[in-house]
Structure 1
Amino acid sequence: MADEIIKKIELTKFNNEVALQMGLAIVEFAKKQNQHIAISVERLHYTVFLFVDDTLCSDNLNWLRRKANVAKRFEESSLRVKHDLTNGNMTLKETFALNPKDFLAKGGAIPIFVKDAGMIAFISVSGLKDEEDHKIIVDALKGKCIN
């Protein structure tokens, strides 16, 4: 599976309306699957979309933040980073001196790039197993902005 992991989402444009549509698509997809998630779509400096299912606790907000920090820091999906760390026998703390209170290498955060502009945002999901958090983003956006 490691070779198939989406590292990033690349779009031709991104704005707050696109962020809203992405967030709503993932929430709708999760509801159809009877999955309870928390989701955030953030630009580099502020949150555009945030949803936390009523069945989840506030801890999920911290999971979203920590996974998103990994996607921002490494500019690739947190699941890809998790696999790279495992395959390289590395850790965020020992290899990169990153505090585990702020960084979590588990699936569920994917950076969003705009073609010819670089990383502009990221999308994060929490509430399921980490590989499922990653997969729900991919499955919900497949055909919409992920090919």
Structure 2
Amino acid sequence: MTRADNPSTPTELIAQLEAEQRELVLTHFDHDDAWQLGQLLVDLAHERRAPVTIDIRHGSHQLFHYALPGTSADNDAWIERKSRVVARFGDSSYLVGARGRLAGRSLQERGMDPLHHADHGGSFPITIAGVGAIGAVTVSGLPQAEDHALVVEALRRFAAHSDRIAG
């Protein structure tokens, strides 16, 4: 791993997470794209024997949902909580959490119920150039950095193979 892949300070982590969001801006995203991205995530999870649940949404409309063996309804609850953070802030749940930890302010201290919101890694905004965040792709089941990394890897592969990247 390079230093950029393994930030050693909270400030470096935030810079890396912000760079990922600037990089992963798409030209468009529709129902068929949700299926393709979801299938890619399922394939990656199977290859790694990762017990994760995968969810893709456009706004509050769930377009894709799949739970691999080893998951439970708890993963669905984590997905709901993490995707609400993306919907609220337009940033990845990992980035929101990293910024909050650096500032010393929890979501609860910012007026959000921890039973409904989770600023743990694994939910990433689906961002369209010229439009902004329109939804979220979320993974739950691994440690937060690994959930986040799986989503980012899948989005990079999806964007590269589908010619959807705006940047």
Shorter-chain TM band: over 0.9
Query: Which amino acid is the alignment partner of residue 132 of structure 2?
Result: G
Q: Is the helix fraction higher in 1 or 2? A: 2
What fraction of aligned residue pairs are identical, expressed as a percent?
Answer: 27
TM-score scaled by length of structure 1: 0.93
Q: Is the 8 A contact 1:11 1:114 kept in 2?
A: yes
* Matched residue, 1:17: 32
Q: Is the 8 A contact 2:40 2:158 kept in 1?
A: no
Greater C-alpha Rg: 2
Q: Deviations over 1:85-134 (max 9, x none)?
A: 0111111011x200001000100000111111122111000000011000
Any unmatched runs of 5+ in structure 2?
1-6, 8-12
What is the number of residues matched between the two proteins? 146
Aligned pairs for 1:1-147 within 5 A: 1=7, 2=13, 3-5=15-17, 6-7=20-21, 9-94=24-109, 96-145=110-159
Query: Which amino acid is the alignment partner of residue 149 of structure 2?
Result: K
CA distance in structure 1 between the partners assigned to 2:153 and 2:137 by the alignment:
13
Structure 1 residue runs of 4 or more that deviate by more than 3 Å after TM superposition: none
Query: Which amino acid is the alignment partner of residue 16 of structure 2?
Result: E
- Quote how far apart the aligned CAs of 1:7 are: 3.4
Tell me the secondary structure at the aligned position of residue 158 of structure 2: coil
TM-score scaled by length of structure 2: 0.83
* CA-atom RMSD in angstroms: 1.4
Q: Is the 8 A contact 1:7 1:80 kept in 2?
A: no
